[in-house]
């Protein structure tokens, strides 16, 4: 059940309305978590800047970013974030089978060593808010310091957005899109 509806677009002051217009899905509608953030216009601009930097300017590949986002959404039980990032994951080259596999046990076959380490790291971060030494060693074999910092932020970002979607009752978009 949706607990907070997005504000009507005509109720927003110009800066917030302009920013919200930038964060739309393929259907031209504002993304669910971003739309409710428009209730807090002072947070909307900084958040969109942060989210854009993390998604567009990071060192992780889009594929790795989406593996982390999807795994965090799965571990947090966020149907909204899962649906949104299934679509982004496909755009980043994940197959439907790989996306489905992200909802299974962490050591299921079919992942590269680096991808399996990302999945384990996401699980540890969501569950324990830390990464164990063995997973850290596996990650450092494949990623440099910038990517290691970024992967923690990516999992944190989508854990937070999963909490927003779950806590505010934002329903998943139709057909697994945004």
Average pLDDT score over the chain: 88
Predicted pLDDT of residue 33: 81
Distance CA 95, CA 25 (A): 20
User: What average pLDDT score do residues 63-90 get?
Assistant: 96
- Bigger pLDDT: 19 or 66? 66
Q: Which CATH class is domain 62-176?
A: mainly alpha
Predicted pLDDT of residue 102: 97
User: What average pLDDT score do residues 133-140 get?
Assistant: 98
- Residue 28 region by backbone torsions, left for phi larger than 0, else alpha for psi between -120 and 50, else beta: left
User: What average pLDDT score do residues 111-118 get?
Assistant: 96
User: What average pLDDT score do residues 131-142 get?
Assistant: 98
- Bigger pLDDT: 37 or 113? 113
Chain centroid to CA 2 = 20
Q: Domain limits of the chain?
A: 9-56, 62-176
Predicted pLDDT of residue 148: 98
Predicted pLDDT of residue 23: 64
Instruction: Determine the 3-state secondary structure of 74 from DSSP.
Output: helix
Predicted pLDDT of residue 99: 97
Which residues does residue 30 pair with via DSSP β-bridges, in sequence order?
24
């Amino acid at each position: 059940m949706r607990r907070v509806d997005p504000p009507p677009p005509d109720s927003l002051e110009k800066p917030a309305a302009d920013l919200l217009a930038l964060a739309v899905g393929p259907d031209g509608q504002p993304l669910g978590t971003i739309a409710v953030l428009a209730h807090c216009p002072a947070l909307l601009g900084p958040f969109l800047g942060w989210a854009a930097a993390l998604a567009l300017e990071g060192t992780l590949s889009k594929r790795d970013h989406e593996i982390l986002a999807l795994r965090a959404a799965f571990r947090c039980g966020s149907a909204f974030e899962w649906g949104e990032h299934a679509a982004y994951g496909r755009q980043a080259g994940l197959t439907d089978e790989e996306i489905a596999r992200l909802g299974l046990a962490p050591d299921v076959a079919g992942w590269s060593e680096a991808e399996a380490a990302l999945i384990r790291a996401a699980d540890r971060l969501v569950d324990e808010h830390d990464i164990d030494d063995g997973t850290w060693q596996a990650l450092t074999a494949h990623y440099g310091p910038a990517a290691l910092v970024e992967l923690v932020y990516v999992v944190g970002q989508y854990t937070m957005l999963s909490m927003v979607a779950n806590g505010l009752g934002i329903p998943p978009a139709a057909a697994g899109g945004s």
